[in-house]
């Protein structure tokens, strides 16, 4: 028996005693074996039974207290002075192994294809999605490892094992239902050919996996013949049943959840939340909870933590209890900065309860004064809907006309013939809006303006069933309103971004909105004047006092700083501008004092060495403390950047964090505040968010697993895709060019049924 210890060899006597005890425990022997030391950490061991000796050789590899036991049969010619250790343990780093293969059974299969499986380590994979799993194998040091290993399926992927620089061919089934291990003998000729043909192609997502197949039609559904063959191995796809697919999805979910939980607990700053309620098509209530934070690389992250079923009642206490339990489950209840909610009354009460509960675990910034953020998109919706109510009759005429002329192919072709006869381009079709989403109504009106003359002409030559078109006066009002809505449309989309910080945009855009509304309140046109006053009433209800914390966030945009805050207040009311600016400045320095006095902020500088932190601290002490200035004074004292220049705000802070570590810590948290609870796809609707019938058919736990895991893997937002039809439907006028307009008779046109 050879003993290879890759830390320290220890003393021979101690090793001998440990080996006797180890073999006795491993084989569960009643009588201790006989051990003879041969020198050079080689030992001879004598067992009473052949079965025990065979098991010691076959069942390995054996590890005991950090020792690896390399076993061989005794040979009479054995000489310790010239003998070498052949079977040794080696670690292999699976650097490019896809995440779905980080399963113990698959890792053991890879190990057994190389040598004998010893250990599998998931630590590297858990720390970071870009890291890798490791395996330890017992291999013969005198033999060359295999050049390739085949692991199930038909979709090929190469990975590098750093210890030997080998390429292994990995198979992924199209439905991602799991991995199956095939005969490793296929890793020779067939596996090598596949590796040469596919090279080092990157792994494809499921949405593009069929690009790797040659698909064809034909045959009956029950003839059990594949309708697609892999381009590289000429085999058909293997589909797992729903049970296996569910198990695989849950495994990936649990692994990703474990990694995300660790990531959230190690976030350099605090975490901001958004939460809103969803309803399934069968009436079930779902609570969505999303975390927003800036990671150590200064990248804005948005992760859907939970999308869970919430039974009635949906009151403030029930919402508070559920959200608090979820935060404790993630271990982040001490790291919360703010929560963004819509304007439901129960949410106002819920955030009060939640702030009180979280303050028990740790003091909230400014004692929770900035904890609650109102959803900006929801407030914009309320303002716009009040304004649109002024011209609802004219909008309904346009909506009815669009529905009428798109209800049949005959009507569309008749309308197209009339448009072409007066020289109007029909390349842009109609837009049928969703009345609850004002942006789709805005798009419908813009498209209708193109065919304004056609609507009027068709009313004159039509019959009694033709809906009335807007009058010239109504068209004029609609045109002016569209001009007003155009900036609202752009601002709502900017508010609802997910890939960039939005907190620093709040002051700029809310000031723009207030300026527009004020201009329309003084407009000569009676309709626009009335609409402006209605919108002003709604604006004053929610935004008369600008959000202080979001006004502070604008200061951390190097384009804007404190000068822009003063500019906005001056443009609105020069008399109170100085007072309001001083209020913002006072709140800014008061909040900064909390950051400047909470621990050693140098520890939060990622990747900085102790020497660099020490020198940076000395520089700050010399340049700031002696002069009675803070880092915030230094930041504000620098010239702001060109407002028209394009700049990634977070990347600017990443570069300048070493100069202003305390200010950067504050900026990290304020810039992570989302000002809406929804993505741009849902930002224009006042209606409740509803799950599609396909997701509603899933069990609540399965729906949560799919929605959250997709968000963690590829940044998916649950709102995206569920309201795809709510933006409206585009209806082209050139839908069927094979039908000539002259084939539609006047009788056919005149006998259309009255749909409206």
- The SS3 of residue 519 is helix
217 shares a domain with 195: yes
Total count of domains within the chain: 4
644 shares a domain with 537: yes
Judged against a pLDDT cut of 90, whether residue 603 lies above it is answered with: no
* Of 502, 520, 539, 503, residue with least CA distance to 386: 539
**Which of 608, 643, 674 is at the close of a domain?**
674
Structural domain contains residue 410: no
200 shares a domain with 282: no
293 shares a domain with 221: no
Q: Are strands 372-374 and 336-341 parallel, antiparallel or unpaired?
A: parallel
| Both tokens assigned to 403 | 């529905």
298 shares a domain with 197: no
153 shares a domain with 21: no
Report how far residue 520's alpha carbon sits from residue 327's, in angstroms, rounded to the nearest whole number: 45
Characterize 547-576 residue by residue with b for buried, 16 or more Cβ atoms within 10 angstroms of its Cβ, and e for exposed.
Answer: bbbbbbbbbbbbbbbbebbbebbeeeeeee
Mean pLDDT of the chain: 75
Which has the higher per-residue pLDDT, 207 or 63?
63
650 shares a domain with 596: yes
Structural domain contains residue 495: no
Structural domain contains residue 181: yes
Structural domain contains residue 263: yes
CATH number at residue 294: 3.30.420
Which has the higher per-residue pLDDT, 139 or 418?
418
* Of 133, 247, 255, 234, residue with least CA distance to 179: 247
Helices (H), 68-118: 104-114
In this predicted model, what pLDDT tens digit does every residue of 335-386 receive, in sequence order?
Answer: 999 999 988 889 999 999 999 999 999 999 999 999 999 998 888 888 988 8
Structural domain contains residue 309: yes
Which has the higher per-residue pLDDT, 109 or 742?
109
279 shares a domain with 213: no
Structural domain contains residue 535: yes
Residue 670 confidence (pLDDT):
96
**Which of 626, 649, 674 is at the close of a domain?**
674
> Which domain covers residue 46, as residue numbers?
2-70
253 shares a domain with 224: no
| Both tokens assigned to 101 | 């293969």
Q: What is the DSSP string of 558-593?
A: TTTHHHHHHHHHHHH-HHHHHHHHHHHHHHHHHHHH
Structural domain contains residue 460: no
From 229-238, 516-525, 589-598, the region with the lowest mean pLDDT:
229-238
110 shares a domain with 57: no
**In Å, what is the CA distance from 598 to each residue of 137, 268, 633, 653, 681?**
48, 13, 18, 20, 39
Give percent above pLDDT 90 in the chain: 34
652 shares a domain with 538: yes
Structural domain contains residue 94: yes
37 shares a domain with 161: no
Judged against a pLDDT cut of 50, whether residue 126 lies above it is answered with: no
């Amino acid at each position: 028996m050879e003993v290879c210890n890759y830390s320290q060899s220890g003393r021979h006597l101690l090793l001998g005693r440990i080996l006797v005890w180890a073999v006795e425990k491993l084989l569960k022997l009643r009588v201790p074996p006989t051990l003879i030391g041969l020198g050079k950490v080689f030992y001879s061991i004598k067992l009473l039974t052949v079965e025990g000796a065979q098991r010691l050789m076959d069942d390995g590899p054996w590890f005991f207290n950090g020792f690896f036991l390399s076993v061989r049969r005794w040979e009479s010619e054995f000489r310790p002075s010239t003998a070498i250790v052949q079977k040794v343990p080696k670690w292999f780093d699976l650097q490019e192994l896809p995440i779905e293969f980080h399963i113990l059974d698959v890792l053991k299969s890879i190990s057994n294809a190389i040598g004998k499986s010893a250990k599998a380590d998931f630590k590297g994979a858990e720390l970071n999605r870009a890291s890798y799993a490791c395996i330890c194998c017992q291999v013969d040091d005198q033999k060359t490892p295999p050049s390739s290993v085949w692991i199930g399926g038909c979709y090929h992927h190469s990975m590098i094992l750093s210890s030997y620089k080998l390429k292994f061919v990995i198979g992924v089934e199209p439905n991602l239902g799991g991995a199956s291990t095939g005969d490793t003998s296929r890793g020779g000729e067939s596996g090598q050919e596949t590796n040469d043909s596919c090279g080092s192609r990157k792994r494809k997502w499921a949405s593009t996996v069929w690009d790797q197949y040659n698909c064809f039609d034909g045959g009956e559904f029950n003839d059990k013949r594949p309708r697609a063959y892999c381009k590289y191995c000429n085999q058909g796809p293997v589909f797992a049943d729903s049970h296996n697919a569910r198990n695989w999805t849950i495994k990936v979910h649990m692994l990703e959840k474990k990694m995300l939980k660790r990531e959230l607990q190690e976030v350099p700053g605090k975490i901001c939340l958004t939460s809103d309620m969803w309803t399934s098509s069968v009436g079930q209530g779902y609570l969505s909870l999303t975390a927003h934070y800036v990671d150590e690389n200064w990248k804005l992250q948005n992760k859907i933590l939970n999308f869970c079923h919430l039974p009635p009642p949906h009151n403030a206490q029930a919402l508070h209890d559920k959200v608090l339990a979820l935060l404790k489950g993630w271990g982040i209840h001490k790291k919360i900065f703010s929560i963004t909610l819509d304007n439901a009354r129960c949410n106002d009460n819920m955030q009060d309860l939640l702030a009180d509960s979280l303050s028990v675990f740790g003091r909230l910034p400014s004692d929770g004064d900035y904890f609650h953020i109102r959803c900006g998109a929801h407030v914009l919706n309320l303002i716009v809907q009040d304004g649109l109510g002024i011209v609802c009759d004219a909008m309904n005429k346009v909506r009815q006309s669009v529905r009428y002329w798109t209800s049949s192919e005959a009507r569309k072709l008749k309308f197209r013939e009339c448009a072409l006869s007066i020289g109007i381009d029909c390349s842009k079709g109609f837009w049928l809006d969703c009345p609850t989403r004002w942006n789709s109504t805005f798009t419908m009106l813009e498209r209708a303006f193109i065919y304004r003359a056609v609507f009027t002409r068709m009313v004159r030559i039509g019959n009694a069933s033709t809906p009335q078109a807007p009058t010239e006066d109504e068209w004029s009002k609609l045109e002016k309103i569209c001009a007003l809505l155009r900036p609202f449309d752009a601002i709502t989309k900017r508010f609802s971004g997910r890939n960039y910080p939005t907190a620093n945009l709040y002051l700029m855009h809310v000031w723009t909105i207030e300026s527009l509304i004020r201009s329309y309140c003084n407009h000569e046109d009676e309709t626009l004047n009335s609409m402006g006053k209605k919108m002003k009433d709604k604006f004053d209800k929610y935004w008369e006092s600008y959000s202080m914390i979001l006004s502070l966030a604008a200061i951390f945009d190097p384009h804007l700083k404190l000068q822009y805050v003063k500019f906005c207040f001056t443009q609105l009311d020069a008399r109170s501008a100085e007072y309001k600016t001083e209020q913002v400045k006072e709140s800014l320095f008061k909040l900064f004092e909390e950051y400047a006095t909470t621990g050693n902020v140098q520890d939060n500088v990622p990747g900085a060495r102790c020497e660099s932190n020490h020198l940076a601290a000395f520089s700050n002490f010399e340049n700031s403390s002696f002069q009675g200035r803070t880092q915030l004074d230094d930041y504000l004292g620098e010239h702001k950047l060109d407002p028209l220049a394009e700049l990634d705000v977070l990347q600017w802070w990443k570069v300048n964090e070493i100069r202003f570590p305390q200010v950067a810590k504050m900026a990290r948290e304020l810039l992570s505040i989302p000002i809406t609870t929804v993505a741009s796809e849902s930002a224009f609707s006042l209606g409740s968010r509803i799950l599609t019938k396909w997701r509603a058919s899933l069990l609540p736990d399965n729906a949560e697993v799919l929605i959250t895991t997709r968000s963690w893997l590829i940044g998916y937002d649950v709102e995206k895709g569920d309201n795809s039809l709510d933006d409206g439907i585009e209806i082209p006028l050139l839908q069927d060019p094979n039908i000539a307009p002259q084939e539609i008779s006047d009788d056919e046109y005149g006998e259309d049924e009255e749909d409206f």
